Chains A and B, each alone.
Chain A
Amino acid sequence: GAGVSQSPRYKVAKRGQDVALRCDPISGHVSLFWYQQALGQGPEFLTYFQNEAQLDKSGLPSDRFFAERPEGSVSTLKIQRTQQEDSAVYLCASSLGTAAVNTEAFFGQGTRLTVV
């Protein structure tokens, strides 16, 4: 596709519910990132994939958060037993290079998650 695509755009979940957020990166991009953006703040790093390998998950806030990219393309961020503090915009980004931060990162429009 022309850009990074995320779905759904909006998600309302009841507390305790599991959610799955999808990211379609730019075709051919090796690196994929997930970020969490709270209201009024800059995005914060969650996890990084190089192809199908999850090389860095240091930003995942708890073991309720899980991400995968099984075929090195589409990625899913799963949050189990959602809590109110999980409410945020979840942004996905991809970049062409394997030395990820040396190449430009392109972001999707994000998924706004609201936990009620």
Chain B
Amino acid sequence: KQEVTQIPAALSVPEGENLVLNCSFTDSAIYNLQWFRQDPGKGLTSLLLIQSSQREQTSGRLNASLDKSSGRSTLYIAASQPGDSATYLCAVGLGNKLVFGAGTILRVKS
């Protein structure tokens, strides 16, 4: 059974700091990996999608990497801002579904 783990569970950083969120998965036979952002009481917003044949994707201040062989992905956020405060979820695409981690709660202090 595919298991997805996210570390750390929570993170608090001062504004302007660069940070890395980690995601690991137990089964490397994935179709893709997707990073989402979830604000309190809201649904999920897709940030980056990495296909299994890709190594990384970038969007603005966000960069996500994927190492299938080791079962790991990282989300790098540059020059963090208070508006980045949210829960960040990673999910691996497997068959007809996404399998999610429990998320990292990020707080960026101004």
Contacts and interface: CB of A to CB of B under 8 A. Distances in A.
A53 B98 CA distance: 19
B88 to A, nearest CB: 11
B28 interface: no
B108 to A, nearest CB: 20
Given A102-B31, A105-B46, A106-B46, A42 B95 contact: no
30 contacts: A33-B97, A33-B98, A35-B98, A40-B102, A41-B102, A42-B91, A42-B100, A42-B102, A43-B44, A43-B100, A48-B96, A55-B96, A56-B95, A59-B97, A91-B43, A91-B44, A99-B31, A101-B95, A101-B98, A102-B31, A102-B32, A102-B93, A104-B34, A105-B46, A107-B43, A107-B44, A107-B46, A109-B42, A110-B42, A112-B41
Interface string B63-96: 0000000000000000000000000010101111
Interface of A: 4, 6, 33, 35, 40-45, 48, 55-56, 59, 91, 93, 99-102, 104-110, 112
B42 A56 contact: no
Given A43-B100, A48-B96, 17 more contacts: A6-B43, A41-B102, A42-B100, A42-B101, A43-B91, A45-B98, A56-B96, A56-B97, A101-B93, A101-B94, A101-B95, A101-B97, A104-B46, A104-B49, A105-B34, A105-B46, A109-B42
A105 B4 CA distance: 18
Interface string B19-43: 0000000000001101010000111
A114 to B, nearest CB: 13
A45 B97 CA distance: 6
Contacts of B34: 104-105
Nearest to A106: B46
Nearest to A108: B43
A83 B93 CA distance: 30
B13 interface: no
